[in-house]
């Protein structure tokens, strides 16, 4: 149905069933032209390229993201090559020499997890990690952990990378947190953006929302973004010269000044080919009227077809009983199976030998689903020989 848009990647991987899309999504064909267009614009415009990038491309991408996430102020969106840069920039808003309390979960992606672990080696930094399971009570437990003391930063994912389960009602959670804390609230939306219909309109004033192009936005690595609340007066110490673009906010005499919009969280010169690619994907989706809701419905139909095939195979480990999310709280675009770590690694590698690409982390085997799949192409018969 949608495979026509992914011909280059599909032809380059004949015979493969690619279930690792939640990690490394195939890129639609339009992204190849977009990469070349960046090259051509660079050759044609040389020094004047940045006028085109900042005058047309950046605002166009901001408009698309704002439309998709229902953000009222597109200029509050800022770009960086990866989310780690934003994590670091957000953390640099705090004074690490005085007590800092961070409330997060036990299931955050490495870009945050590793960084906060390293930071917690400082005597001043206290990190409280709330277990994501049981998922049904996570919002209440997160709220209680935040309210239990003065909290400076709350950081959690919209959809957790190690389960695919997400926060059911993001607006309600942020609004509840807002009642008990004035902490900075940051949502890692990487597994939610363009996978789950998301409406940030009611919480855009309160929440920092991070995501990027590598997964469901399909533009490849290099174009992450952050939506910054309009009221933000933060002055990140880790700051680059792009943060001075446009109108500047007032600062005390002699202080470094920051842009009056999302660009106060900007870094410096970056390769914008991913920005071109993601713009091409947004345009394609728009032209083809592929909404996040439509894509999600298609993905759900693929997941159901896959599970029915799996039922037929009656595999001792790869079956519904080992789905991590048994209550169907699943929100992301991948299914996670949980069983012993050594079995997970063995089965993932046996599947790979049969051209079935998955990925795994510890005791979790993840199967992702994408628009470039057709349920009729799924073939799991090799499971008969994998015990």
Ligand X SMILES: Cc1ncc(COP(=O)(O)O)c(C=O)c1O
CA 296 to chain centre: 15
Contact indicator for 367, 307 with CB cutoff of 8 Å: no
Using the minimum distance from each CB to ligand X, give the nearer residue, 94 or 214: 214
Check residue 239 for interaction with ligand X (CB under 6 A): no
Nearest to 194 by CA among 328, 59, 85, 284: 284
CA 114 to chain centre: 17
Check residue 54 for interaction with ligand X (CB under 6 A): no
Using the minimum distance from each CB to ligand X, give the nearer residue, 38 or 160: 160
Check residue 359 for interaction with ligand X (CB under 6 A): no
Nearest to 243 by CA among 35, 68, 93, 356: 93
Nearest-angstrom CA–CA distance, 63 and 296: 22
3-state SS class at 365: strand
What's the min distance (Å) between Cβ of 369 and ligand X?
Answer: 16
Using the minimum distance from each CB to ligand X, give the nearer residue, 22 or 317: 22
Cis-peptide, bond into residue 134, ω within 30° of zero: yes
What's the min distance (Å) between Cβ of 210 and ligand X?
Answer: 7
What's the min distance (Å) between Cβ of 157 and ligand X?
Answer: 5
Contact indicator for 203, 62 with CB cutoff of 8 Å: no
Site for ligand X (CB under 6 A): which residue of 191, 322, 364, 373?
Answer: 191
- CA distance readout (Å), 46 to 11, 35, 42, 57, 312: 34, 16, 5, 16, 59
What's the min distance (Å) between Cβ of 18 and ligand X?
Answer: 16
Q: Which stretch binds ligand X (CB under 6 A): 82-90, 92-100, 193-201, 278-286?
A: 82-90
Check residue 188 for interaction with ligand X (CB under 6 A): yes
Nearest-angstrom CA–CA distance, 198 and 95: 33
Per-residue binding letters, 263-302, with ligand X (x by CB under 6 A):
----------------------------------------
Site for ligand X (CB under 6 A): which residue of 27, 161, 225, 242?
Answer: 161
What's the min distance (Å) between Cβ of 192 and ligand X?
Answer: 9
Site for ligand X (CB under 6 A): which residue of 139, 212, 219, 222?
Answer: 212
Q: List residues binding ligand X (CB under 6 A).
A: 82-84, 109, 111, 157, 161, 188, 190-191, 212, 224
């Amino acid at each position: 149905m949608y495979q026509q848009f992914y011909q280059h990647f599909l032809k380059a991987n004949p015979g493969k069933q690619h279930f690792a899309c939640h990690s490394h999504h195939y890129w639609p064909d339009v992204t190849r032209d977009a990469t070349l267009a960046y090259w051509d614009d660079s050759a044609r415009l040389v020094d004047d390229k940045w006028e085109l990038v900042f005058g047309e491309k950046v605002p166009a991408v901001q408009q698309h993201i704002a439309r998709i996430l229902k953000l009222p102020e597109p200029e509050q969106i800022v770009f960086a090559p990866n989310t780690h840069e934003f994590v670091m920039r957000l953390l640099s808003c705090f004074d690490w020499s005085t007590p800092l309390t961070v409330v997060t979960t036990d299931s955050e992606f490495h870009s945050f997890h590793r960084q906060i672990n390293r930071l917690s080696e400082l005597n001043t930094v206290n990190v409280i990690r709330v277990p994501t399971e049981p998922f049904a009570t996570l919002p209440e437990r997160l709220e209680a952990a935040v309210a239990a003391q003065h909290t400076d930063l709350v950081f959690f994912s919209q959809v957790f990378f190690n389960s695919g389960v997400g926060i059911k009602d993001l607006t309600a959670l942020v609004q509840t947190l807002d009642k008990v804390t004035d902490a900075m609230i940051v949502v890692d939306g990487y597994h939610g953006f363009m996978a789950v219909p998301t409406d940030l309109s009611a919480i855009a004033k309160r929440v920092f929302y991070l995501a990027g192009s590598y997964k469901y936005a399909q533009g490849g690595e290099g174009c992450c973004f952050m939506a910054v609340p309009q009221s933000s007066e933060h002055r990140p110490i880790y700051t680059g010269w792009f943060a001075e673009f446009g109108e500047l906010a007032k600062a005390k005499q002699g202080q470094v000044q920051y842009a009056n919009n999302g660009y106060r969280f900007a870094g410096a010169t970056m390769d914008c080919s991913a920005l071109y690619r993601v713009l091409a994907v947004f345009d394609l989706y728009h032209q083809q009227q592929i909404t996040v809701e439509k894509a999600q419905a298609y993905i759900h139909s693929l997941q159901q077809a896959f599970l029915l095939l799996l039922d037929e195979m009656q595999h001792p480990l790869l079956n519904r009983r080992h789905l991590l999310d048994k209550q169907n709280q699943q929100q992301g675009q991948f299914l996670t199976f949980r069983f012993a770590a050594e079995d997970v690694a063995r089965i993932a590698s046996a599947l790979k030998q049969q051209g079935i690409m998955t990925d795994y982390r510890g005791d979790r085997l993840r199967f992702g689903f994408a628009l470039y799949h057709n349920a009729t192409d799924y073939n799991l018969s090799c499971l008969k020989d994998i015990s």
